[in-house]
Amino acid sequence: MKKNILLLVALIIGSTSYAQKWLDDVSFNVRSSFEYDHTEEQDAKGFNGEHFNLNVQGHLSDNVSFRFRQRFHKDIVNGDNIFNATDFLYINWKINEHWSVNFGRNEIFIGGYEYDYAPIDVYYYGDFCNSLPECYAFGGSVAYNFNPNQQLVFQISNSPFFGGNSNLLSYNLAWFGYVAQWWKTIWSVNECEYTDGEFENMIALGNRFEFGNWYLEADIINRYRSSYDNFLFDNWAFIGKLNYNYHNWNFFLKGGYDNNNYRFDYNYRIEYNYTHIGCGTEFFPLKNSKDLRLHAVYYYNDNLESHSFMLGATWKINLLEK
């Protein structure tokens, strides 16, 4: 499999001049950091290559486009899922101004801004995203665009549970839009099978409030199974991020709380709470370009009682860009 992926990369790179008619973007994205982690038991430090992605986007016609993203730092095969390291592998047909159809491997449409970010742009996750076995899966979706900034999507995909590759399905309805010019949304309602015929219901409300150089992201996620005592707030999470942009600098404060108090059956109950908080800064040294980003980040995880510090860079290598 690794040889096949490397062959695919070589073919893409070697044919970019020939394929410029249908390729719009071919690039690598890389993130590397020096990381120091401290717990009561031990200290760990070292340089890490955290992300190494190949991105390919293009079109087959004016209204048919495709996307492929491969993460080389992940195991290619995980269990029966040979696409474990493939985030996107889909084709999208824009039928008209309002309707479009998507088929292939895509993000499972679950609301929330932390969830929606590309992993390379997230320095630390809350428990909600960390606990999902899979955020990408094969499926199909139909989208209705009210206007360029308001979209309603219905998706049927493999379930995020058990690696996103089984006979379990997920039914997802998501709204990408805004309430006001300063209030953007990624909201969803999801019914995800976790065993045959048994579903976990998710209501995920991602909100982004923009005021000049400031923005605040606030995600609220509620999860429910039939064995829980209550529909609301037995199993829920909140993630918040405050960001300030000053010229080529970003400064942010991010934290979250995850409350888990649920019952699998009448004799087996799990109760735990999880908090994380951190801050950081990003600097873009290239004029009029986001292709190089330097970062310094600190965060605390009370579940592991760990303090972590990261110092590193993220960069994009453009092989073809239109």
pLDDT at 80: 66
pLDDT at 14: 61
CATH code for position 261: 2.40.160.10
The answer as to whether 15 is a domain residue is: no
pLDDT at 242: 98
If DSSP codes are grouped into helix, strand and coil, which group holds residue 120? helix
Q: Which two tokens stand for residue 91?
A: 């084709």
- CB-based contacts of 91, cutoff 8 Å, min separation 6: 60, 64, 65, 66, 102, 103, 104
Q: Count structural domains, the chain.
A: 1
Residue 2 has pLDDT above 60, yes or no: no
DSSP 154-208: EEEEE-SGGGG-SS-EEEEEEEEEEEETTEEEEEEEEEEEEETTEEEEEEEEEEE
The answer as to whether 196 is a domain residue is: yes
The answer as to whether 88 is a domain residue is: no
The answer as to whether 85 is a domain residue is: no
The predicted-structure confidence for 169-183, as pLDDT tens digits, reads as follows: 999 999 999 999 999
- At 165, is the pLDDT very low, low, confident or very high (cuts 50, 70, 90)? low
The answer as to whether 193 is a domain residue is: yes
The answer as to whether 241 is a domain residue is: yes
The answer as to whether 194 is a domain residue is: yes
- At 239, is the pLDDT very low, low, confident or very high (cuts 50, 70, 90)? very high
Number of alpha carbons in the 13 Å side-chain half-sphere of residue 235: 21
In which domain, by residue range, is 272 found? 93-321
Residue 12 has pLDDT above 80, yes or no: no
